[in-house]
Structure 1
Amino acid sequence: MDYISFIRSKVGQDKIFLNFSVGILADDEGRILCQKRSDVIGTWSLLGGCWELGESSVDALKREFMEESGIEIEPIKLLNVYTNYEEHYPNGDVAQTVGFLYQVRAVKAFDIEDFSNDETLELAFFSQEELEQLEIISPQQKLMIEEYFAQGFEMGH
């Protein structure tokens, strides 16, 4: 049983803390990789996800990135930690999310053209201007993207 299912079996839909690792992978043009989500239709997000028990933030990031894109990555820099966001999920669950944002690079060449699975409907690289036109999954991720392009990371979010 994964961590979220395990903890939800104990507390139901009450608010809990959930820890996430998120990665920004940029291409040679400075665009960043995002996934079109299957759980919240019409939204895009950075790649990453919730930690499992016993997993480090880096291990969770590598696992989630591979699951969501098929890309093997390694983190090269911790950019910021975001702690003060409340998320309401489509199934009624509520969580205060703690998000660790990393800059990552691909370990080897990859192809995203036809990638899709249960979590990811589509993958694409976007410029800052293009991302401003998309529906991003959460205010926390919007801020992550804004701070990345501004190259200014404020503590205390």
Structure 2
Amino acid sequence: MPIPEFVVALRAKIGHAPLPLNGVVAVVLDDRNRVLLGRRSDTSDWALITGCLEPGEQPAEGARREVLEETGVTVQVERLLSIEALDLSVAPNGDQVHWLAIGFRCRAVAGDARVNDDESIEVAWFDPDAMPPLPPHQERCLSLALAGDADPWFSEPIGLR
């Protein structure tokens, strides 16, 4: 999968050290409320459509761009689902990332779902009751998307819980 040029430039300076990046998680629903998933080429796991925001890119536009790039599906971004700082992740090459994940519910409006880049080995629609396992933050986004117009989720400061 291609690494954005700005990340390549930063990695040239910091190596594999932890890098904070902003990303999007798109819960894409079709007219039958099926969920679009991609089977990741790096892990072979099924996942919601995700990606890294470019510097200065609006998060909703980034979600729309990532879905189109990865699946060939054009979406309308309907609403914000969540904002969450994820635990430190380590890529197979040793790069460490602190992701700020911004989740959106999206509605497919055009295009046929297909593998559209090298980030996925398979793309498919799933009924919500027949979903493969997803990471916890993606499960949370999915639940919020299927709950209708629930308020966006965020982690409250520890002192306010």
TM-score (norm 1): 0.82
Q: CA deviation at 1:36?
A: 0.7
**Cross-structure match for 1:141:** 138
User: Please, which runs of 5 or more residues in structure 1 have no aligned partner?
Assistant: none
Q: Give the RMSD, CA atoms, in angstroms.
A: 2.2
Structure 2 residue 22 is matched with structure 1 residue 25: no
Moved over 6 A (4+): none
Separation (CA, whole Å) in 1 of partners of 2:133 and 2:5: 28
Q: What percent identity do the matched residue pairs reach?
A: 28
Residue 149 of structure 1: how far off its partner (Å): 3.9
Deviation at 1:43, TM superposition (A): 0.5
Q: Does 1:9 align with 2:12?
A: yes
Contact 1:85 1:140 (C-alpha < 8 Å) held by counterparts:
no
In structure 1, C-alpha distance between the alignment counterparts of 2:144 and 2:106, rounded to whole Å:
16
Secondary structure of the corresponding residue to residue 107 of structure 1: strand
Aligned to 1:99, the other structure's residue is in SS state: strand
CA distance in 2, matches of 1:147, 1:58: 17
Check conservation: 2:38, 2:120, Cα contact below 8 A.
Answer: yes
* Unmatched tracts of structure 2, length 5 or more: 157-161
Mapped contact 2:82–2:154 kept (Cα < 8 A): yes
Instruction: Please state how far the C-alpha of 1:23 moved relative to its aligned partner.
Output: 1.2
Q: Which amino acid aligns with 1:65?
A: V
State the distance in 1 between where 2:94 and 2:83 align. Answer: 25
Amino acid at match of 1:72: T
Q: State the 1:116 CA deviation.
A: 4.4
Partner of residue 155, structure 1 = 154
String of CA shifts for 1:16-60, please: whole Å, max 9, x gaps: 2110012111123322100011122x2111113001122221222
State the match for 2:112 in structure 1.
111
Match for residue 76 of structure 2 among 74, 82, 98: 74
CA distance in 1, matches of 2:96, 2:140: 20
Distance 1:76 1:87, change over 3 A: same
